[in-house]
Chain A
Amino acid sequence: MSMLKVEDLCIKVHDRKTTDTLVQDVDFEMNKGDIMGIVGESGSGKTMTALAIAGLLSRHDMEKSGHIIFEGINLLDIKRNVLRKIQGNEISMVFQEPLNSLNPLKKVGWQVEESLRIHTSMDKNEMRDRAIEALRDVELQNPEAVYESYPHELSGGMRQRAMIAAAMIIQPKLLICDEPTTALDVTIQAQIVELLKRINRERQTAILFISHDLSLVNTLCERVIVMQHGLVKESGLCDDIFNNPQDEYTKKLIAAIPKSPFGI
């Protein structure tokens, strides 16, 4: 049995008169230690898919159907309090904008520890030790100082590392990263991707990596799903799709990648 199995996932939003389908018939599976990419242009439904898996789409005007089976439990029909035990514990998420995703008024350390505070009964010192360890593990210099700082005092790259530390602190089985590098400089982007690779290798954490950048997905992931207008256009091994795209949209995406001096 796979760790995560998404079947026929549909997300609809009801307006007063109309119903919009944001995501339609998304299917995929992930196992422990897998690293999977979702690519597609902006508005293709990547974020909606990610939020649904993380249990963060609970708006009244949104209707989800299909199955999101995580470790044998369908996340779409469990109670909120059961879901909360999985959120931040077994499934964690890293978002696109590290600054906005951090609470501006709380110290970074407090936010990194939050999952421990919610899901464990550790005392303050234990949590602090673990948080500093987690901050060191995402290659932040001087983790003690980062622990005591406020989000506005860090650079964009440092914030995103802190967000990854917060997501990883409790060793989740699945880490969902929704365009984690889009808001960052190119050099920092590469570093974050390397960091995610290392985490995946060392911890066997499954990573669902979402990006609009196909070449970035190709450097990180084994498998990829190509989405457009809420539909899965193509899915399979990165190498296959890159070298031999079947779908017109995938071909366009590949053609749009600027040629790097090393070739792709």
Chain B
Amino acid sequence: MKYVIKKLLTTLITLFAVSALVFFSFSVIPGNPAVSRLGTEATPEKIEKLTHEMGLDRPLPERYGEWVLNILHGDFGKSYSYNQKVTSLLSEKIGTTLILSVIAIILTVAVAFPLGIYTARKSDSKLDVVLTSLNQLIMAIPSFFSGILITLLFGFVFKLFTPGAYVSYKVNFLRCVGYLFFPALAIALPKISMVVKLLKDTALKEANKDYVVTAYSRGNATRAVFYKHVLKNAMIPVITFLGMTFADIIAGSIIVEQVFSVPGLGRILLTSISGRDYPMVQAIILLLSVFVVISNLAVDFMYRAFDKRIRV
């Protein structure tokens, strides 16, 4: 219980640190949002007036304090370029990106574990040699490129989905998931191959440990030694890796959303950055960090449930 409280507290502190980092870093990068908004009409007087209206001439710490307080009340401010509330602009996109990430995570776990276990159990078979080489190849292909290949293959050749015809989850959840499956596959593929390799390598390493000899000495069959002893131990590095991977999947979805024309956080993040739309950019980065921090927290708890030696 103490551990849970401690963890939650550090998570809160992390989030505060992230919010400060997000806020101040976007305030120091060059470029005045007032200028971007005025464009060619910018005269020094107009810029000064708009800068004042937007509150950009006030001291940074004051603006940061106000920003954080508003966020705590669920208010992320107004977008400069759309002149609408950030929350209403982002709410649907957050859902989209989350669904995409969750499908990618489920795919990674659901495919990588059985495959990893299989290759570890059959580590000297011919099929394993094929799988391992295939794995190396997949690991080397970046998501955006496998995204293009998937679009070509499943979209145009097999016509399993219509590229570009994304349906919002608010309109039809199942069709939305059916569409997002393909970008999720592009995100998951390299992760799957990494988890498979890691699981196999750690399982083979564990299989050489002393407790495995003990397990055999008690009359366990090879299968029982693997499932009752080796697997759980081999899972520990895999869980750690998954923690990092979840964060990576969320970040990776931004690029893949472009390839599959999915209107998630990725697309609006890019346009907001080029438009110096700081409230939007800050909100998106903060949200992405929250996803990452929360998924790390979940992995920490999982890890702890798994390995009683962990004392933090």
| Residues of chain A whose beta carbon lies under 8 Å from any beta carbon of chain B | 51, 54, 56, 80-81, 84-89, 92-93, 95, 97, 100-106, 111, 114-115, 118-119, 150, 152, 163, 166
Contact = CB atoms under 8 A, between A and B. Distances in A.
A93 B215 CA distance: 10
Task: Specify which of A93, A97, A104 lies most central, judged by the most chain B CB atoms within 10 Å of its CB.
Answer: A104
Given A89-B219, A118-B218, A95 B213 contact: yes
A93 B220 CA distance: 13
Contacts of B309: 104, 150, 152
B219 A104 contact: no
B53 to A, nearest CB: 61
Task: Specify which of B213, B218, B224, B309 lies most central, judged by the most chain A CB atoms within 10 Å of its CB.
Answer: B218
B40 interface: no
B217 A87 contact: yes
25 contacts: A56-B213, A84-B219, A84-B220, A87-B216, A87-B217, A88-B218, A92-B217, A93-B214, A93-B217, A95-B213, A95-B214, A100-B209, A100-B210, A101-B213, A101-B214, A103-B211, A103-B214, A104-B309, A105-B307, A115-B219, A118-B218, A118-B219, A118-B224, A152-B309, A163-B214
B229 interface: yes
Given A150-B308, A150-B309, A152-B309, A104 B211 contact: yes
Tell me if B's interface is mostly helix, strand, loop or mixed.
helix
Contacts of B217: 54, 56, 87-88, 92-93
B219 A87 contact: yes
Tier of interface size on chain B: 20 to 34
A115 B232 CA distance: 20
A118 B220 CA distance: 7
Contacts of B229: 103, 106
A150 to B, nearest CB: 5
A112 to B, nearest CB: 10
Interface of B: 209-211, 213-221, 224, 229, 232-233, 306-309
Task: Specify which of A54, A84, A152 lies most central, judged by the most chain B CB atoms within 10 Å of its CB.
Answer: A84
Contacts of B209: 100
Contacts of A85: 219
B229 to A, nearest CB: 5
Contacts of B224: 118
A105 B231 CA distance: 11
Contacts of B233: 103-105
Contacts of A93: 214, 217
B235 to A, nearest CB: 9
B219 A102 contact: no
Nearest to B232: A105
Contacts of A115: 218-219
